[in-house]
Structure formats: structure tokens, C-alpha cells
Amino acid sequence: MEAIREFLKPELIWFLLGLVMLLMEFVLPGLIIFFFGVGACIVALICLILPISLNLQLVIFIISSVILLLTLRKWLKGIFLGRIDAKRDLEQHLEDFVGQKAVVTKQIEANIRGKVEFHGTNWEAEADVSIPEGTPVEIIGKESITLKVKQLEKKGDK
């Protein structure tokens, strides 16, 4: 009977519940159950230090789990899924375009968009000067899905 009482201590129950929830995260991915497992472990630590009522244990469990979920989920998900920072991602994609060559497929007027073909795909393009269809251009920038281009200098032009 005494052995059973040892296993019914709140800190042990909360710890085991937290451990089960942490392990369930492997079976049910989504990085949500994990935070409730951590919340249960927090309650287990508090119960180990202080004797608190069951109602207070539940309140601490819910509040700590929800706060952790709302504050850390996006950050941890990015770490576990290998997300690239949006700014670095944008810079990397910009590097893929700038300096590349394309061909105008629909005439570009000064500050009026036309189209260019780049890597087999038609893109909206704009330039500061008029560029006729069929002219090779160099990509000098990108804004959303519109490429900024300039006409390539002809040999002899400087």
C-alpha cells in the first residue's frame, strides 16, 4: 500500500504525464503536444518544491503550456524544420537573378511594364527606358514578381 502512495505523488504523476506527452510528439507531429508536456514537467517541478492544490496545479499547467505554445512554437518549428530566415531567403533569391541575362518578349516602355523570358519563363519586367522586343537585357533587380532590367550595352557603346 505504501508503494502505491509513492507513485501517486503529484510531482511523479505530472512528470510521467509530461514524459508521455513529449513522447507522443514523435507519433503526432505538429509541435503542439510538446508544449503541454513541458507544461506538465513545470508543474512537476513546482509540486516537488511546494505542496499546492490540484486546482492550482491545473491552472499552472494550462497557463504555462499555452504561454510556451504561443511564444515558442514558431521559433522552434523553424529550428526543427530547417526554415531559412525570410531576409536571408530574399537575398539568396535576389542573387539568383541579378546579373543574369534575359530577352525582351513584349516591348518595355519607360516605366511601363513589358515581359522578358528568363530561364524559360516569362516575367513581368520594367526599365527606365524603352526596350524593344527581342533585345537582350541584364537583370539589375527584382521586386516581388517584376524584374528590373537594363539593356545590354552594344559592342562599341560606352
Reported as a single tens digit per residue, the pLDDT across 72-115 is 888 877 776 655 444 444 444 656 788 889 999 999 998 789 99
Residues 75 and 6 reside in one and the same domain: yes
**Under 8 Å between Cβ of 136 and 118:** no
Residues 64 and 117 reside in one and the same domain: no
Predicted pLDDT of residue 154: 67
Residues 63 and 121 reside in one and the same domain: no
Residues 69 and 107 reside in one and the same domain: no
Across the range 43-50, mean pLDDT stands at 94
**Residue 23 φ/ψ, nearest 5 degrees:** -70, -35
In a domain, 158, yes or no: no
Cell of 132: 524593344
Range of the domain at 131: 88-151
Tell me the CA distances in angstroms from 10 to 64, 108, 154, one per residue in order. Answer: 17, 73, 81
Last residue of a domain, one of 50, 66, 81: 81
Predicted pLDDT of residue 107: 92
**Under 8 Å between Cβ of 104 and 122:** no
Q: What is the pLDDT of residues 50-68, one digit of tens each?
A: 999 999 999 999 999 999 9
Residues 54 and 106 reside in one and the same domain: no
Last residue of a domain, one of 81, 107, 125: 81
Residues 118 and 69 reside in one and the same domain: no
